[in-house]
Amino acid sequence: MKVKLILVITVILAVVSCLACGESKEKAPVKETVGEALITAGIKEAEVSIYADKVLISYQPSFASEEELLKEWVYIMGTAVEQAPWIDQVVIKCIFRGEEVMEVTSKTDDIVGYLTGKISPETFLPKLVVRPIGEGPLITPPE
């Protein structure tokens, strides 16, 4: 728990510093960098795809609790935005028993606003677009 919290704080600081300097990174190593950061955080077997306007990450969430799931999403989104600041959105596809069951989408501006404290959790959570895929279980952000 402490390790994830430290990693989330590290991502927040990295995002803020990246936005402050305005540097863009090369797109080629982004996929590997995002994947490595997720593995470091304990999110294994994530599949990362980089597009001109978005990052798509498919992974199997821990489903330990809604709070843990939200922390994973925020970490994943922050990592994607840190490594690919030019993107418009982050899409997360959650896999359960080998099937995609849920898709979570957020705009980059909303992610950065939340991570930098400009947007409160009460404002950020409703901006997450959570939609079911197929017939699997759906976990939604608390209201």
- Mean pLDDT of all residues in 103-120: 96
Tell me which of 10 and 74 has the higher pLDDT.
Answer: 74
What does pTM read for this prediction? 0.72
pLDDT band at residue 29, thresholds of 50, 70 and 90? confident
Residue 52 DSSP code: S
DSSP assignment of 57-123 equals EEE----S-HHHHHHHHHHHHHHHHHH-TT-SEEEEEEEETTEEEEEEEEEHHHHHHHHTTSS-HHH
How confident is the model over 53-98, as pLDDT tens digits? 999 999 998 777 888 888 999 999 999 999 889 999 999 999 888 8
DSSP structural state of residue 42: T
